[in-house]
Amino acid sequence: MNPSPNLFLVGPTGAGKTSIGQRLAAHYGLPFVDLDVEIEARCGMPIADLFAREGEAVFRAHECAHLDEFSRREGLVLATGAGAVLDAGNREVLASRGTVLMLAVDVDEQLERLRDDTARPLLAGPDRLARLRALAEHRTQLYEDVADLIFHGRHESVDDAVPRAIALLERHWKRDGWKRS
């Protein structure tokens, strides 16, 4: 297991990387970085607009560059975008610069959590369930391969999930200098 002072969250869209990540960062007294939010801020537009104007390849190039930059810092919790693991270089960066926690969630739970979400370009189209299944089939093994730990989501609130995630981390992830708030 990677004993890095960084914690990187990977997993599918709607797994809770941002919501759980913010709470983990607060619990451990660390800064939180949402990679997609950083890309939007620096590009000056929502990711959906970046996809529409420049295409997925340009977005992925931004994602790689931003992941490389932020992962060089020490002592943070970083939520990746769901597709960050598609790039082999990103997987190497994640594995070598931080402890990687996969947030696993089943497709039915994703569909429920994302029912009102219209901002994710890869979920656009008439059959969202089929799209989520296809993404899961393609990406789940990549998440598992890079993960040091896997946190299995349940049909529960963030308030219920976070203590379980902390307990998992504290059973397996020992890091000098961590402070609890």
pLDDT tens digits for range 138-175: 899 999 999 999 999 887 888 999 999 999 998 876 65
Q: Which fold has domain 7-170?
A: Rossmann fold (3.40.50)
Residues in the annotated binding site for substrate: 36, 60, 139
Residues in the annotated binding site for Mg(2+): 18
Residues in the annotated binding site for ATP: 14-19, 120
| Chain segment 110-141, per-residue pLDDT in tens | 767 666 666 655 566 677 788 888 888 989 99
Nearest residue to 77 via CA among 160, 146, 4: 4
Nearest residue to 139 via CA among 128, 131, 127: 131
Number of H helices, E strands in the chain: 8, 5
Domains of the chain, by residue range, sit at 7-170
Residues in the annotated binding site: 14-19, 36, 60, 120, 139
Alpha-carbon gap, residue 5 to 175, rounded angstroms? 7
Task: Return the half-sphere exposure (C-beta side, CA atoms, 13 A cut-off) of residue 181.
Answer: 9
pTM for this model (two decimals): 0.86
CA angle 145, 136, 8 (to 5 degrees): 45
